[in-house]
Amino acid sequence: MQNRTYTADAEPGDTVTVAGWVHEIRDLGGIAFIIVRDTTGKIQVKFEKDEMDDDLVETGLGVNRESVVEITGDVKEEPRAPTDVEIVPTEVEVVAAAEPELPLDPSGKVDADLSTRLDNRTLDARKEDVEAVFKIRGEVLRSVREQFRELGCSEINTPKIVATGTEGGTELFPITYFGEEAFMNQSPQLFKQLMVGSGLERVFEIGPIFRAEEHNTPRHLNEATSIDFESAFYDHTEAMDACESVVKAAYEGVAQNCQDELDALGVDFEVPEGDFPRLTYEEAIERINATGELDEMLVWGDDLPTEGEKALGEDVGTHYFITDWPSEIKPFYIKDHDDDEELSTGFDMMHPRMELVSGGQREHRYERLVDGFEQQGLDPEAFDYYTKMFKYGMPPHAGWGLGGERLIMTMLGLDNIREAVLFPRDRQRLSP
């Protein structure tokens, strides 16, 4: 649209044309106001009924809320207006009239349940706080990618239609691919590993992953965004350093570039400072046991139950790592310590509320990798496309996957992970 002025840029003395949605209509009798909202903010438009052209007044005040209008007029100072300025209109055009009954109220005055909101995401994301989440989400992706580039990574895109899953345990969505059985990829794990053995050496990918898990919790999605990193010649400690730097970069980017959005959300935002503590698994279970929050004491070899993670998170109070897990509870493609085969180089990176990252040094030795598939009950032949590359000079390497929505959810204190996705997919929801 030629000559459009954003509401935030309208200065007293200007003649402007603003375009946006009718946020509110207030008719006080002789005088009436409409508030026009666009992506930058809101502005008041004043109608003095006796002094203005009847057609103009009728058009401006006859409109339904959430209709799209273009309004031309002069900007005046007005201390009583919400933004200290108002427009005195000379032209009003209704570009797209809204029906009088709305399925939800974008002014935010009337609450709607999450399901109604997701069914009407267009209207829902007109709300300042919802819009803010998704602007922040964009900034998180931007600053994460910038940090990957600082780390010397090449961006890769790996296929989402695959012949085999990454792991045995997690459920896969089956596809019919030209008559063949195929699946939607649950992780770029195998592909990013293949690329650290190429000339790229250090790579990242941000893309969708698909998990047919029957979870139905506020922190699981069936389609999610995975932020993946993998580097040749890195061990697990170097991978943790990279992980910490990426998470901090996300917070720093948001702090620097999204102050208005944080204000709209009313979030008490702090960039994590200092090194993330690195607890061994053994220390973690001791500290969990010491909290007394669990009915039964954890012993070596137990996976950490959700309540255990929660108790530990409250105890630690910051992002932290858990390292040196028992090998038997980490995936077979994670390397064990050279001096103790019972101990894995796998690590998790935790927010006090939940796990964000899973990573480790990878098994790069062909024979051991193939053994690992067998021990996991998988047919190594089905993964031949992957394992055979380990026969031709696969460097030691390490990496991790970070849940994009969990990062945003914990950063902004969102109750439900679905608040961090425009169109979430779960067992009940396939549309829109």
Q: Quote the CA–CA distance of 133 and 353 in Å, as a whole number.
A: 19
Mask 118-157, x = binds a copy of itself (CB under 8 A)?
-xxxxxxxxxx-xx--xx-xx--xx--x---x----xxxx
Decide if 38 contacts 71 (C-beta within 8 A). Answer: no
Q: With binding defined as CB under 8 A, does residue 96 bind a copy of itself?
A: yes
How many CA atoms does the CB half-sphere of 236 hold within 13 Å?
25
To a copy of itself, the closest distance from the beta carbon of 370 in angstroms equals: 14
Q: Which of residues 234-273 bind a copy of itself (CB under 8 A)?
A: 234-235, 238
To a copy of itself, the closest distance from the beta carbon of 384 in angstroms equals: 9
In three-state form (DSSP H/G/I as H, E/B as E, the rest C), the secondary structure along 4-45 is: ECCHHHCCCCCEEEEEEEEEEEEECCCEEEEEEEECCEEEEE
Q: In the complex with a copy of itself, which residue's Cβ is closer, 103 or 218?
A: 103
Decide if 288 contacts 308 (C-beta within 8 A). Answer: yes
Backbone angles phi, psi at 278, to 5 degrees: -115, 100
Q: Which of residues 343-372 bind a copy of itself (CB under 8 A)?
A: 364-365
Cβ contacts of residue 307 below 8 Å, gap of 6+?
Answer: 293, 294
**One of 202, 211, 335, 362 touching a copy of itself (CB under 8 A):** 202
Q: Which helix (H) or strand (E) holds 358?
A: strand 354-361
Q: Quote the CA–CA distance of 125 and 103 in Å, as a whole number.
A: 13
Q: In the complex with a copy of itself, which residue's Cβ is closer, 179 or 317?
A: 179
Q: With binding defined as CB under 8 A, does residue 163 bind a copy of itself?
A: yes
- The residues annotated as belonging to the active site are 211, 213, 219-220, 355, 358, 406
Asked, as a colleague might, if the bond just before 106 is cis with ω within 30 of 0, I would say no
**One of 29, 292, 377, 393 touching a copy of itself (CB under 8 A):** 393
Which residue type occupies 301?
G
Q: With binding defined as CB under 8 A, does residue 174 bind a copy of itself?
A: yes
Task: Choose one: 168-176, 273-281, 286-294, 324-332; the region binding a copy of itself (CB under 8 A).
Answer: 168-176
To a copy of itself, the closest distance from the beta carbon of 284 in angstroms equals: 26
Which residues are documented as binding site for L-aspartate? Answer: 167, 211, 358, 362
**One of 55, 113, 176, 273 touching a copy of itself (CB under 8 A):** 176
Q: In the complex with a copy of itself, which residue's Cβ is closer, 31 or 161?
A: 161
